[in-house]
Amino acid sequence: MNFVDTHYGRLEGIRFDRLYSSSKSDGCDVTKKTVLSTPYGYLVPQYETEDIGRRARKPVYFFKNGSIKSLPLQHQTLIKTPLGNIPAELVTFYESGSIKRVFPLDGKLSGFWSWKNEMELADATTVDTPGGQVTAKLLSIQFYECGSLKSITLWPGQHAEIETPCGSMVFRKGAAFYENGALRSIEPHKKTYIPTPVGIMTAFDNEPNGIHGDINSLQFDRNGPVSALRTIDNEISVGFPSGNTQVFKPGTKNNVCGDERPIAVPMTVRFEKNAVIFNDGAPFSIESYSFDVRKHSMKSGLPVYACSA
């Protein structure tokens, strides 16, 4: 059998490969043009490659119940989403059929085709977020199963402005939201002064982790106050009831390029249940301890990823 029936129509010229199979999903190659009629528009699964940026034909993945899990498209297509029409080359779904992620571009990166080549093909997209309109080149947009916006991820080097509980801020990498629309986290584009339960702190992660905007260093709870941040500019002296003190501050690591200046390692500070937590250590009750936020000074550089010969 070289076809499979889906909720949106029949896929012709398919070939299942055991390499695409797992305990959660199965995948197949599509070799013939098929038009699927979906609630999000007419979608054509990728069945051939046409240029260097999309050399490899990607499989269509299915959940074990037969629902489509991941759908690469033959051409960039405007699809209907809870945020309006958004261009997509790859769409992923929840098992219920609701849209999970939309990728405007889906190139195959290699030594011949870099992310910079891919980004040159990207167009700026405007989306209406709970924090206002955001216009930037987007890597992906993620939704909750109910349809509300979960996160947006920006291409490297892109930044945009958004409203936060602490005012308007410029962010990079991404922004994430709670299901009710409240801002969950952003990645500050530059060093930003943030009010916290222990005083004003400078939020900035000089080396943010991850390739998506689902989790970012400046985080807020559902009601608005800051719940976590990363800093390379502050140290905090904690005063114990006994009169002793302990200082928590950012760390350092060696520069991979051999520069004599070390690289700053941000300190993570969390505020949970009326307590302060440093780098996932033991909590300090705000009522029982005193906290003195001070400027942290050290001679360090920013991360360098390209060493000169």
Domain check: are 166 and 277 in the same one?
yes
Domain check: are 168 and 80 in the same one?
no
Domain assignment present for residue 129? The answer is no
| pLDDT of amino acid 306 | 47
Range of the domain at 34: 3-115
* Residue at 308: amino acid letter: S
Domain check: are 104 and 165 in the same one?
no
Cβ contacts of 3 within 8 Å, gap of 6 or more? 10, 11, 12, 13, 14
Distances (CA, A) of 238 to 165, 249, 274: 26, 11, 15
Domain assignment present for residue 203? The answer is yes
Domain check: are 163 and 286 in the same one?
yes
Please report which residue ranges of the chain form alpha helices under DSSP H. 115-121
Domain assignment present for residue 137? The answer is no
Mean per-residue pLDDT of the chain? 87
Helices (H) and strands (E) in the chain, counts: 1, 28
Domain check: are 191 and 108 in the same one?
no
Which residue in 43, 76, 42, 46 sits closest to 58, CA to CA? 46
| pLDDT of amino acid 302 | 54
Confidence band of 305 (pLDDT split at 50, 70, 90): very low
CB distance 212 to 153 below 8 Å: yes
Report strand pairing: 218-220 vs 263-265: unpaired
- Expressed in percent and rounded to 5, the helix, strand and coil fractions of the chain are 5, 50, 45
Domain check: are 163 and 111 in the same one?
no
| pLDDT of amino acid 255 | 73
Token pair listed for 224 = 């608005």
Lowest mean pLDDT among 87-96, 134-143, 251-260, 292-301: 251-260
Count: domains in the chain? 2
Domain check: are 104 and 208 in the same one?
no
Domain assignment present for residue 303? The answer is no
Domain assignment present for residue 244? The answer is yes
Cβ contacts of 208 within 8 Å, gap of 6 or more? 172, 173, 187, 216, 217
Domain check: are 51 and 164 in the same one?
no
Domain check: are 107 and 9 in the same one?
yes
SS3 at position 18: helix
Domain check: are 195 and 91 in the same one?
no
Domain check: are 92 and 219 in the same one?
no
Which residue in 168, 149, 180 sits closest to 81, CA to CA? 149
Measured torsion, CA atoms of residues 41, 44, 45, 47, in degrees rounded to the nearest 10: -170
Which residue in 115, 19, 13 sits closest to 74, CA to CA? 13
pLDDT tens digit sequence for 16-45: 877 778 877 788 889 899 999 999 999 999
Which residue in 40, 42, 152, 58 sits closest to 107, CA to CA? 58
Domain assignment present for residue 9? The answer is yes
pLDDT tens digit sequence for 136-194: 999 999 999 999 999 999 998 899 999 999 999 999 999 999 999 999 999 999 999 99
Domain assignment present for residue 139? The answer is no
pLDDT tens digit sequence for 63-109: 988 899 999 999 999 999 999 999 999 999 999 999 999 999 886 54
Domain assignment present for residue 34? The answer is yes
